[in-house]
């Protein structure tokens, strides 16, 4: 009977991790060996509110990933593993992890999950090289505004040309009729 509560705790932990895998836009697996509690606290803060960073037992995390329908991570669950479950922009979280790893080389990015598929550590780094969603949307908006301005000028040109032509004709007629009256 003493084993039953332990199994219940493990089942609960697997269920929670499975929910986090399913509910995250991305998940990054890291090795944190050698980092202090204060450094891990700093890392958690730097990732923002929408990303949770949690240490997990490899066997439980592996089972949770399988239960969430994610394959290809089994080799990454070795050594001390912590998971960054990203609720917001995966690019921002990947950048935060990369910057922290530059300052603290003991943090090793092992790989992760993006759009339901396993990705390598190199792919996480490439994700960090992308511009954030907000920057991309701002660039798109700027490009659209520029194109709309060009379109407006293009549509305006024939009207202004026609108006100048009509005015020139009116001036010419006025000049001719003024000259004919003399």
pLDDT tens readout for residues 100-130: 999 999 999 999 998 888 888 888 888 877 7
Give the tokens for residue 33: 């060996």
Report the pLDDT value the prediction gives residue 1, as an integer from 0 to 100. Answer: 45
Report the pLDDT value the prediction gives residue 180, as an integer from 0 to 100. Answer: 53
Q: What does the alpha-carbon distance between residue 33 and residue 140 come to, in Å, rounded to a whole number?
A: 41
Instruction: Tell me how crowded residue 108 is: count the other CB atoms within 10 A of its CB.
Output: 15
By mean pLDDT, which of 14-18, 69-73, 76-80, 178-182 is the weakest? 178-182
Q: What does the alpha-carbon distance between residue 130 and residue 149 come to, in Å, rounded to a whole number?
A: 28
Dihedral of the alpha carbons of 113, 118, 122, 126, in degrees to the nearest 10:
-50
Given a cut of 70, whether residue 159 has pLDDT beyond it is no
Given a cut of 80, whether residue 154 has pLDDT beyond it is no
Given a cut of 60, whether residue 182 has pLDDT beyond it is no
Given a cut of 80, whether residue 99 has pLDDT beyond it is yes
Specify the DSSP element, H or E, that contains 90.
helix 90-103
Biggest alpha carbon–alpha carbon distance for the chain: 122
Q: What is the mean pLDDT of residues 76-88?
A: 90
Q: What is the mean pLDDT of residues 9-35?
A: 90
Mean of the per-residue pLDDT values of the chain: 82
Report the pLDDT value the prediction gives residue 115, as an integer from 0 to 100. Answer: 84
Report the pLDDT value the prediction gives residue 20, as an integer from 0 to 100. Answer: 92
Q: Which residue has the tokens 């092992």?
A: 110
Given a cut of 70, whether residue 166 has pLDDT beyond it is yes
Given a cut of 80, whether residue 155 has pLDDT beyond it is no
Give the tokens for residue 123: 């792919």
pLDDT band per the 50, 70, 90 thresholds, residue 60: very high
User: 150 exposed, middle or buried (CB, 10 Å; 0-12, 13-18, 19+)?
Assistant: exposed
Report the pLDDT value the prediction gives residue 136, as an integer from 0 to 100. Answer: 59
pTM of the entire structure?
A: 0.66
């Amino acid at each position: 009977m003493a084993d039953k509560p332990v199994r219940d705790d493990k089942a609960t932990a697997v269920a929670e991790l499975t929910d986090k895998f399913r509910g995250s836009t991305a998940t990054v697996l890291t090795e944190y060996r050698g980092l202090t509690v204060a450094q891990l606290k700093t890392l958690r803060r730097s990732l923002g509110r929408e990303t949770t960073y949690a240490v997990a037992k490899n066997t439980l995390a592996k089972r949770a990933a399988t239960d969430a329908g994610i394959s290809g991570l089994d080799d990454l669950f070795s050594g001390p593993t912590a998971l960054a479950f990203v609720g917001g922009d995966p690019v921002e979280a990947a950048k935060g992890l990369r910057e922290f790893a530059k300052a603290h080389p003991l943090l090793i990015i092992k790989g992760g999950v993006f759009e339901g598929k396993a990705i390598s550590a190199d792919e996480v780094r490439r994700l960090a090289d992308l511009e954030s969603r907000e920057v991309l949307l701002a660039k798109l908006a700027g490009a659209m505004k520029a194109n709309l301005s060009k379109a407006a000028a293009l549509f305006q040109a024939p009207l202004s040309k026609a108006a100048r032509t009509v005015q020139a004709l009116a001036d010419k007629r006025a000049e001719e009729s003024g000259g004919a009256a003399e």
